[in-house]
Structure 1
Amino acid sequence: MKPDDPLLRILACPLDKEPLHLLPPAGERDDDEDGALYNPRLRRRYPIIDGVPQLLPSSGEQIPEDEHTELLKRMTP
């Protein structure tokens, strides 16, 4: 998923129904990871697998405080 993808405008967190932020893949290698969508309000990260956002409440991962700070730096507006 690219930062300019129009789909990003309509995707929302399944829990609070608010917008999500794109987290680009970590590191140099894009083939290992598709990135993720992040809800900084609830500190939940939803994976993107094979270009498809996994937005079921059960697929979200709760993020600890220290990792949350690092993810805020990676967020794409």
Structure 2
Amino acid sequence: MLSAPWRRAASALRGRPRSRAVHAAGPRSAPDTPGSGQASPPADFDTALLDVLVCPLSKKPLRYEVSTNELINEELGIAYPVIDGIPNMIPQAARMIHQSKQQEEKEQ
């Protein structure tokens, strides 16, 4: 049997949400449904996934940056966005962080 972080990672990689228990009254509606007046906060990234996620280009471990909500590969200088708690590990979606820092320094 897989440990909890491995189950979450396998579920995330398959692209299916983990199963949820359904109560006798039926499934609850999400708070961000249209007309409810409430927007749910964005899903947090599960940092336990850092144990199994690596950069698809270098195969090196990644670091999660809370302030930018990105997975950072310091060696290559790239940042993968995390959208609704799901890391977007497509290299074309990553941004170069070294170029961003250099541009900021030039502007100052």
Q: TM-score range by the shorter chain?
A: 0.5 to 0.7
Q: 3-state SS of the aligned residue for 1:6?
A: helix
| Structure (1 or 2) with the larger CA radius of gyration | 2
State how 1:9-28 maps to structure 2 within 5 Å: 9-26=51-68
Q: Please give the alpha-carbon distance, in whole angstroms, between the structure 1 residues aligned to 2:87 and 2:57.
A: 15
Alignment of 1:8-47 (within 5 A): 8-26=50-68, 35-47=69-81
**Unaligned 5+ runs, structure 2:** 1-44, 103-108
Percent identity, please. Answer: 34
- The Cα offsets for residues 8-37 of structure 1, whole Å up to 9 and x where unpaired, read as 1111111101100000035xxxxxxxx110
Q: After TM superposition, what 4+ stretches of structure 1 lie above 2 angstroms from structure 2?
A: 64-68
Larger relative contact order (Cα-Cα within 8 Å, sequence gap ≥ 6): 1
Q: In the alignment, what sits opposite 1:32?
A: none
Which has the larger helix fraction?
2
The corresponding residue for 2:85 is 51
Structure ranking higher in strand proportion: 1
Instruction: State the secondary structure of the residue aligned to 1:64.
Output: helix
Q: Distance in 2 between matches of 1:51 and 1:25?
A: 14
Residue from 64, 71, 77 that aligns with 2:98: 64
When the two structures are superposed, what TM-score results if normalisation uses the length of structure 1? Answer: 0.66
Secondary structure at the residue paired with 2:82? strand
